[in-house]
Amino acid sequence: DLTNGFSFAEILHAYFPNEINMLSFINGRSLNSRMLNWAIIKQFIARQKLPVPLELIDATMHCKESGAEQLLERTYQLLTNKKPFLDSQSVRDSDFSDHPYQQNLNSYERSHASKAIKNNLKISEVLTEPSYAYQEKRIQAILDRHYNDRLDERNKHPQRFSARPTLAERCLRKPLKPNTNVTDWYKNSFDTRSRSAASTNKSGQSRQYSADISTKKIPLNQDDGSIHVNDDTPYKELTVHQHSVPLDDLLQPESNT
C-alpha cells in the first residue's frame, strides 16, 4: 500500500540513505499523515530535480486508478535505468479514472452517474481541495464522460434502448441523378428559394396596404343632424357624439318648492 507514502519512502531510502530519514515519516492511514509524508517526498524530488510528475504522486495519495502503478514504473526506470515490463493489453486513462475498466464490462454491469462520481472523485480530494469551483469542474467532467458513453451505447444498440429517429433523421433525402451537375442543381435551388422569398415579401406588402386602407377615415355627410355614408366605399365608419351635463349644473342645490 503506497497511499501513505511510507513504503515509497523506504524505496528512496535504499538509494538515498543520507537524504531520506525514515524517522521523519509516519506509518499511518490518516489524511494528515499521508499529506505529511508526501510533502517530504515532494521536497526531496524537487531538490534532486527528479523527473517525477506531481500528478502521479497526487493520484497515488488519493488512491486513483493506476496511479501507484505508474509511479512505481517511473521510479523504477529512473533508479535502475531499465524499462519496466508493461502489459500491451492494459489501457490506462490520463485522468486516472476507471473509464477503461468500465468499457470492458457489460452494459448492465457499468456504473451509473452517482457511482461514477464516487469512483472517480475521492473523499481525500474533496478534503484537500475545498474549492467548490474545483469540485464542480471535476464532477461536471465525470458526468459529461458518462453522458457521452451512454450516447455511444445507444447509437451502437438502438433496438435495446428503443431509440426513435429524430425528425431530421426521418426526412427523406433524395440522391441526385447520375447526370445532374451539382453547380446547376445549386443554382436552380437558389433561384427557387429567391422566388419564394419574393412572393413572401409581396404578400407581406399587400397585407400592409390593406391595413393602411382600413385606418383611413371615410368622409361622412351630415345634413340636418342625419349621417349619410357613401355606398361606394368598402368600409363604413359611424361617429356618435354623446352630450354631457355641465358640472356646475350638477353642483347646484335643488330648489325647495
CATH code assigned at 67: 1.10.418.10
Q: What confidence score (pLDDT) does residue 225 get?
A: 47
Please tell me the distance from the alpha carbon of residue 150 to that of residue 163, in angstroms, as a whole number: 12
Distance CA 236, CA 230 (A): 8
In whole angstroms, what is the distance from residue 150 CA to residue 121 CA? 20
* Alpha helices for the chain (secondary structure H): 6-15, 31-48, 54-61, 67-80, 99-103, 113-120, 123-128, 132-156, 158-161, 167-170, 182-215, 247-251
Residue 20 lies in a domain: yes
Residues 39, 11 within the same domain: yes
Domain ranges, residue 48: 1-92
Domain boundary among 72, 92, 112: 92
Task: Determine the pLDDT at residue 206.
Answer: 54
Tell me, yes or no, whether 131 and 83 share the same domain: no
In a domain, 131, yes or no: yes
Please give the chain's pLDDT, 257 residues, in tens.
788 889 999 999 999 999 999 999 998 888 899 999 999 999 999 998 888 888 999 889 988 888 888 899 899 998 888 888 877 667 777 778 888 888 888 888 888 899 999 888 888 888 888 788 888 898 999 999 999 988 888 888 877 777 677 777 777 666 666 766 656 665 666 566 555 555 655 555 555 545 454 444 445 454 544 445 555 555 455 555 555 555 565 556 655 54
Q: Indicate whether 77 and 103 sit together in one domain.
A: no
Count how many domains the chain has. Answer: 2
pLDDT for the residue 186 = 58
The C-alpha torsion from 142 through 144 and 147 to 151, rounded to 10°, is: -130
Q: Please tell me whether residues 28 and 86 are part of one structural domain.
A: yes
Select from 29, 61, 92 the last residue of a domain: 92
4 with 39, same domain: the answer is yes
Residues 10 and 64 in one domain: yes
Same domain, 1 and 54: yes
Q: Report residue 5 as a C-alpha cell.
A: 507514502
Domain check: are 72 and 131 in the same one?
no
Distances (CA, A) of 133 to 45, 55, 139: 29, 19, 10
Would you state the cell numbers that stand for residue 106, as one nine-digit string? 457489460
- Whether residue 257 lies inside any domain: the answer is no
